[in-house]
Amino acid sequence: MLDTSVATLLTVDKVSQSFTTGSGETRKLVLDQVSMSLKTGEIVALLGRSGCGKSTLLRIISGLITPSDGSVTISGEPVTGPAKDVAMVFQSFALFPWLDVLDNVEIGPRAIGVPLEETRQRALKAIDTIGLDGFESAYPKELSGGMRQRVGFARALVMQPKILLMDEPFSALDVLTAETLRTDLLDLWQEGRMPIKSILMVTHNIEEAVLMSDRILVLSSNPGRIASEIPVTIAQPRDRLDPPFRALVDQIYALMTQRAETTRVAQPAAAGLALPLPDISTNSLAGMLEEIAAPPYNGKADLPHLADSLGFEIDDLFPLGETLQILKLVDFEEADIKLTPLGQRFVDMDVDQRKKVLGEQALANIPLASHIKRVLDERPSHRAPASRFREELEDYMSEDYADRTLRTVINLGRYGELFAYDEAAQTFSYENPE
Amino acid sequence: MPLLFSPSSARRRVLPNQWDLIAFAAIMAILTAVAQSYHGISAPLPAANEPVVSLDYWNLPYYALRTALRMFAALFFSLVFTFTYATLAAKSRRAEMVLIPILDILQSVPILGFLSFTVTFFLGLFPGNTLGAELAAIFAIFTSQAWNMAFSLYQSLRTVPPDLDEVARGFRLTGWQKFWQLEAPFAMPGLIWNTMMSMSGGWFFVVASEAITVGDTTITLPGVGSYIAKANDEGNWWAIGAAVLTMAIVILLYDQLLFRPIVAWADKFKVELSESEVTGSSWMLNLLQRTYWVRLAARPVFEALRSISLLPIHIPRMLQARRGKVEQQPSRIVDALWILIVVAVAAWAIWLTVQYIATEVGWDEVIHVFVLTFYTLIRVLVLIFLASIIWVPISVWIGLRPRWAEAVQPIAQFLAAFPVNLLFGATVSIILAFNLNTNIWLSFLIIFGTQWYIVFNVIGGAAAFPNDLREAATNFRVHGWQWWKQVMLPGIAPYYLTGAITASGGSWNASIVAEYVKWKDHTVEAQGVGAYIAEATEKGDFPKIVLGVAMMSIFVTLLNRLFWRQLYAYSERRLRL
């Protein structure tokens, strides 16, 4: 009993977070009853798609956001404001551009009144540990992305936090730099050279999660829930080409597509307009279908491979795949994506036929598209303001999502010649310039 | 030239109208109250000890120094105002509801028209002492800078990058620490740029306020402005020439020794992490940064400042930033009570103003002033149009040639700071010599100083026009009118509008000086609200000044809201490259 409480650094207990939708009446859940814990000595990855609330969860844990419901405790103490035993590394680095490297690193200890001399000592040590020697007087502007993120790490380490929180720390870096930084961080962690007890990282990169963490928590979207927990037992250092590594990556891909499928199938009929769409261009939809149709895939592709060959991450791949699935042009099978017969035919069509098919499919499968068409048909003027549909959408989703969904439907509608849209007047109509 | 409307405020959304009305009423009521309190003083103020300004050239360096010091003092007060007013507005929601509309209206009040009130007010504070007159002049300069600067700071405070805000909160910085570590540095580039731009307006005001006659009180402060006034009185061409030269030198020194170094230094506060393509450079800053001794002496100062900025001072809860506490709903009852109080005060203020105007001048006069303001409106719009037709093609031509642009842009900026009073002699002489229609030909004085805003903004826009678009246009053989209509004009539209908005604002203020011109013993005037205000000021007729300024403020506000801001919003939405 006593033993577990010492070993458990962080407990998240039934945390929910909701926000008020555009109309101000309904409240939309972002996180739903999320519970998790973090033990001393482990690296845990929170894996999920963009918009699943994983970053919100991280901010709740750090005390930057107060949850609507539930509680967070760190080392037995409830978190009520910005927590003192955690430090965060940001995706955007979030360095103060007007402070040089040393000042950026020193700002935390100085703010809480650590004596100057001790601050300097700790800062120099952190800078040394993270490999920034010689850059003390450089300004962030003068550094490359990788070096900037090292400053981000040094700034967090100098606080000597128990828990290091990382919010997609490598996703703003190029592939090579990100890999170097990951390995350096893992080396430091394994050698115990960092004054921290555990790491909680948020990522949407499946391989990164498998490469670095001891445990992966997969979050589902809308609302965010912990869908599954996957222990990673492969010994460090891990090799991406190792068969067990590949198998685990495939397994997680399959898990995430399956979930996507079940939530999708349940939604459209029941919820009507409440079908959020990602930002998608019609060209990338067609491009993806062509890629799957072409060799080596010939109509059926393994998702991790497809992602690799397109240079995509799941945040790029899944929205495309799901939109195609909604339009009934592809199907998911385990970790595979497969063209439907219609999808197969689509690839061989010319532009006019493609426009027709996409228009028909959008009308049949996207409730918002058919709704707009119906309203335009009903009105004598055959005109309707976009604000009307935006407000309807905001009853079900946040402003951002409503905007994105509307944009995508406008795109599909224009491409499929379902209706015209005047951006300046923000109105839908049937009129196209002659 | 004075900015009655800053581009930075154009970027804001159009504010709810009832607040504008309230703010407008409050400002007018305060000014009315000042005017009334002046009437309460039965004995006329004694004329200030008139220091005789001499047209001797050797006095000019001393006068220039006095003028420059006034500018400094005004700058100091503007900064103090900016940091308190804008910070309060950005941090307290209830204060914001009142403070921001007030600021917005204050921008549109041609404060030059109120010079008479401020002069008598400050003279009343220090009777028989030139300190009062000094303060009045400083206050006039202050009004040409402070609103702009406060807006800039307010906007920056509201747009602090969220990730940096999270870092600051994560490190548990106190309000004081956060302000100096994050918010103030973030606001720095915008604030400095705005300060520099409003400095041009300051020169105009300092010249106008050093020598002023209100009724039978004449104020003359030693300075370049009163030197120009005296030269105009005596019709001394040589003295005017000397004043031109002096102003040129003073403005140049201010620019090179003060603003360029600060702008170059403030580059490090810019948040975009990429090396920006246009980095200002300053020989003065380079000199300072490379001098070993200066750096050595400055270091302890900077260290001490940094320590002070990191003191763990807590700021009252009321003034804490609101971000991150979205869930916490503010009390509706307190809100309602607050709005009720504000509305009540505003209603009382409107009643006060209306009653004052009704009893002192009567409604016929109101209609008369309305017509006059309409004349000035036409004058301003026509001149902006003419200036645009002439200057846009020329500026585009210059802007597309980098070498020319580099040379011309600073000159245009420099010309914008030139006080129009220097041209009185030439204008009056020409008008009298050729017996010209003053309603038409005096108008050009209004645009004299403000047209340069169009010039340097359009040059900037043309210089920033993407090269690939130009090449595409050439490649598809787009030329002639089509090239202007579909390629260049849309490309420079946001820049042009920034310039035109500034020029429009400045022109309103300039009309007070430029519609009523004196040279030796000739007085030349045009029909317009500017001349009306200037004449009333000279006679010390306070109700008429209140009426004139109020009418002009209403026109300026409406013009900004209904015309300029809509155009600007459209161009930002559709044409920003």
- Residue A311's domain comprises 274-347
Q: Does any domain span residue A388?
A: yes
Q: Which percentage of chain A shows pLDDT scores above 90?
A: 27
Strand order in the sheet with A420-422: A383-385, A427-429, A420-422
Give B135's pLDDT tier (boundaries 50, 70, 90).
Answer: confident
Checking if the pLDDT of B326 tops 90, the result is no
Which of B:145-184 have CB within 8 Å of A? 161, 163-164, 166-167, 169-174, 177, 181-182
Same domain, A235 and A343: no
Whether residue A334 sits in one domain with residue A299: yes
Count how many domains chain A has: 3
Give the model's confidence band at B501: pLDDT under 50 very low, under 70 low, under 90 confident, else very high.
confident
What is the pLDDT averaged over residues A302-319? 81
CB atoms within 10 A of CB A397: 22
Same domain as A284, residue A251: no
Q: Is residue A370 part of a domain?
A: yes
B60-100: pLDDT as tens digits: 888 888 888 888 889 899 999 999 999 888 888 888 878 88
A201 and A281 part of one domain: no
Pairing relationship of beta strands A69-74 and A43-47 according to DSSP bridges: unpaired
Clarify whether residues A119 and A235 are in a common domain: yes
Q: Write down which residue in A256, A286, A318 finishes a domain.
A: A256
Question: At residue A294, does pLDDT exceed 80?
Answer: yes
CB B369 within 8 A of CB B529: yes
Chain B CB within 8 Å of residue A269 CB: no
> Does residue B314 sit at the A interface (CB-CB below 8 Å)?
no
Report the predicted TM-score, pTM, of the whole model to 2 decimal places.
0.76
pLDDT in tens, A327-336: 889 988 877 8
Tell me the pLDDT band of B42, cut-offs 50, 70 and 90: very low
Instruction: Tell me the pLDDT band of B280, cut-offs 50, 70 and 90.
Output: low
A170, part of any domain? yes
Render pLDDT for B402-416 as a digit per residue (tens, 0 to 9).
888 777 877 877 787
Closest CB to B166 among A19, A64, A140: A64
Q: Compute the average pLDDT of residues B143-148.
A: 84
Distance CA A305, CA A249 (A): 11
Residues A342, A369 within the same domain: no
SS3 string, B319-360, reads HCCCCCCCCCCCCHHHHHHHHHHHHHHHHHHHHHHHHHHHHH
Residues A106, A136 contacting (CB under 8 angstroms)? no
Contact A38, A199 (CB under 8 A): no
Q: Which of A63-77, A113-127, A259-273 has the lowest mean pLDDT?
A: A259-273
Residue A113: list chain B partners with CB under 8 A.
312
Residue B298 has pLDDT above 70, yes or no: yes
Which of A347, A376, A396 is the endpoint of a domain? A347
What pLDDT, on a 0 to 100 scale, did the predictor assign at position A3? 47
A109 to chain B: closest CA residue = B171
- pLDDT at residue A288 greater than cutoff 80: yes
Residue A149: pLDDT band (50, 70, 90) is: very high
Confidence at residue B51, expressed as pLDDT on a 0 to 100 scale: 53
pLDDT of B191-246, one tens digit each?
A: 887 888 777 778 877 877 887 776 677 777 888 888 888 888 888 888 888 888 88
More confident residue, B376 or A319: B376
| Residues of B whose CB is below 8 A from A68 | 327
Determine the Cα–Cα distance for residues B154 and B187; give it in Å rounded to an integer. Answer: 9
Same domain, A81 and A226: yes
Q: Is the pLDDT of residue A122 over 80?
A: yes
B171·A107 Cβ contact <8 A: yes
- Say if A434 falls within a structural domain: no
The answer as to whether A269 is a domain residue is no
The reply to whether A27 falls in a domain is: yes
Which tens digits make up the pLDDT trace of A392-422?
888 777 777 888 889 999 988 888 888 888 8
How much of chain B is helix, strand and coil, in % rounded to 5? 80, 5, 20
pLDDT of residue B526: 87
Q: How high is the mean pLDDT of chain A?
A: 85
A-B interface: how many C-beta pairs under 8 angstroms? 72
Quote the pLDDT of residue A40. 92
* pLDDT for the residue numbered B250: 85
Res B197: pLDDT: 76
Q: Calculate how close chain A gets to B156, using CA atoms only, in Å.
A: 15
Tell whether the model's pLDDT for residue B575 goes beyond 60. Answer: yes
Residue bearing tokens 């930033």: B321
Q: Is residue A407 part of a domain?
A: yes
CATH for A299: 1.10.10.10
Nearest to A98 among B161, B170, B268 (CB): B268
Beta-bridged to residue B218, according to DSSP, are B213
- Of A228-242, A364-378, B387-401, B561-575, least confident by mean pLDDT is B561-575
Please indicate, yes or no, if residue A1 is contained in any of the structural domains.
Answer: no
Mean pLDDT, rounded, for B49-62: 73
User: ipTM for the complex?
Assistant: 0.74
B475 vs B45, which has greater pLDDT?
Answer: B475
Check pLDDT > 50 for residue B12.
no
Asked if A112 and B170 come within 8 Å (Cβ–Cβ), the reply is no
Domain stop point among A198, A221, A256: A256
Tell me, yes or no, whether A235 and A116 share the same domain: yes
Subunit contact B268:A113, Cβ cutoff 8 A = no
Flag if B181 and A96 touch (Cβ within 8 Å): yes
Q: Which of B164, B169, B273 to mutate to test the interface with A (most CBs of A within 10 A)?
A: B273
Taking the CA of residue A427 and the nearest CA in chain B, the distance in Å comes to 16
Same structural domain for residues A73 and A155? yes
Q: Are residues A361 and A340 in the same domain?
A: no
Please report residues of A whose CB lies closer than 8 A to that of B299.
none
In terms of domains, do A343 and A360 share one? no
Token pair recorded at residue A58:
């991280």
- Looking up residue A74, the CATH number of its domain turns out to be 3.40.50.300
Q: Are residues A366 and A340 in the same domain?
A: no
